Amino acid sequence: MIWNPAAETASRAERCRLQLERLRGAVAWAGERVPFYREAFAAADVDPSAIKSLDDLARPPFTRKSHLRDQYPWGLFAVPREALVRVHASSGTKGKPTIVGYTRGDLEMWREVMARSLALAGAEPGHLIHNAYGYGLFTGGLGVHDGAEHMGVTVLPVSSGNTLRQILLLQDFRPQGLACTPSFALHIGETMREQGLDPRAVGVGYGIFGAEPWTEAMRRQIEALWGLRAVDCYGLSEIIGPGVAMECVEFRAGLHVNDDHFLPEIVDPVSGDPLPEGAEGELVLTCLTKEALPMIRYRTGDLTSLDAAPCRCGRTTARIARIKGRADDMLVIKGVNVYPSQLEAALLTLDELAPHYQLVVDRTAGFPTLEVHVEPAEARVVAWGGFDAARPEVRGLSERVGEMLRGHLGLNLVVTIVPPKTIPRSEGKAVRVVERS
């Protein structure tokens, strides 16, 4: 079903008119209320009333994550703290967390875009969704929760972690939808298999997977394990949380952006220059309707491309391609740019490996080196009669994987085959890269 046909199937002309009207309002609101924007617009000579077309959007300067950190906690807000009804925060892996906040109106908008997103994944009123995204400061859990309630879905607020309880509830409640990180879906399914249970027997129809980058290869693994349709869910707390964009379950040809609320652009990640439709670059988003925390031309750091053509599902919203990686996540090893997602895509093509990996970047020497940790597939270990790193079969596997990755990436790296189940399993967001410095 299409949750809001008027908004999601509007003609291009109607959509552009609405976007332009809302853009003027959003720029004016930010400029009047937030000193940071007032100064930035003055410096760039931006006059909200002079915005005549969407192309004029290229004039206001960018907002970056560092601005949120510099203005911690309330500096970028357009309303007094008392007007907020909810606050969330990013995990804050680098220093202070990023604080985001919502007025009552913002929460209403979030529920609306989240209900559209759940409908894109295949949800309908009356369904049951097992929500294993983390509840708390992270936006994933409560974002999905509110959207599900809003659309009349029964939501099971399990939150992340506690895999055994997840399994018990999945078996007893038999939900139509499973919402969690893709790595956690994999972990729950594998744990079931170890217990002699078949994840397919739960009968989950669709999976709403996001909050970490993943690949088509990972999608195939999860679908084979669970027998469900896996859809890619995209969002970020600075913009709203989950609900920014989602694939349609029927065609999965890019993620539909709720572009009457979040205006997407693609720019060159280095120069910041706008790129034409279809070109790959960094996604920049402008919040068109947000009250508490306006975001004008926010640099997401995510690499993708934009497609404005209508989708066969009937929706006319712009679509972004699956996120290729974050500009921030890019590793530079001996002058070669590497995205963890590239490595994942290559690794998951090998049946001989378990679908878990970790990248260890060692910066203790003069130049960084990359070591890839992978586990052999369970069937291999059984065939070998147990794991022993000194076995010729293990060394042979390590050589084959190394050769394949070097061929794919044009980069010298070390592959270490580690004993089964020693790579930490994720009950939330997977940690793919470990830095030694």
User: Where on the chain is the footprint of Zn ion (CB under 5 A)?
Assistant: 248, 251, 311, 313
Q: How far is the CB of 123 from Zn ion (least distance, A)?
A: 15
Inter-axis angle of helices 163-173 and 182-194, nearest 10: 80
Residue closer to Zn ion (CB basis): 225 or 311: 311
d(CA 228, CA 255): 18
Q: How far is the CB of 252 from Zn ion (least distance, A)?
A: 8
Task: Please provide the DSSP assignment of 107-170 as one string.
Answer: HHHHHHHHHHHHHHHT--TT-EEEE-SPPSSSHHHHHHHHHHHHHT-EEE---S--HHHHHHHH
d(CA 279, CA 86): 37
Q: How far is the CB of 418 from Zn ion (least distance, A)?
A: 40
Amino acid at 204: V
Q: How far is the CB of 17 from Zn ion (least distance, A)?
A: 22
d(CA 131, CA 242): 13
Residue closer to Zn ion (CB basis): 130 or 322: 322
Q: How far is the CB of 2 from Zn ion (least distance, A)?
A: 9
Helix (H) or strand (E) holding 415: strand 414-417
Using CA atoms, how far residue 198 sits from 69, 119, 156, in Å, is: 45, 27, 21
Residue closer to Zn ion (CB basis): 203 or 314: 314
Q: How far is the CB of 313 from Zn ion (least distance, A)?
A: 3
Residue closer to Zn ion (CB basis): 15 or 290: 15
Go through the chain and tell me how many residues it has: 437
d(CA 394, CA 178): 36
3-state secondary structure of 281: strand
Among left, alpha and beta (phi > 0; psi -120 to 50; other), residue 408 is alpha
Residue closer to Zn ion (CB basis): 193 or 251: 251
**Tokens read off for 204:** 């989950």
Q: How far is the CB of 9 from Zn ion (least distance, A)?
A: 11
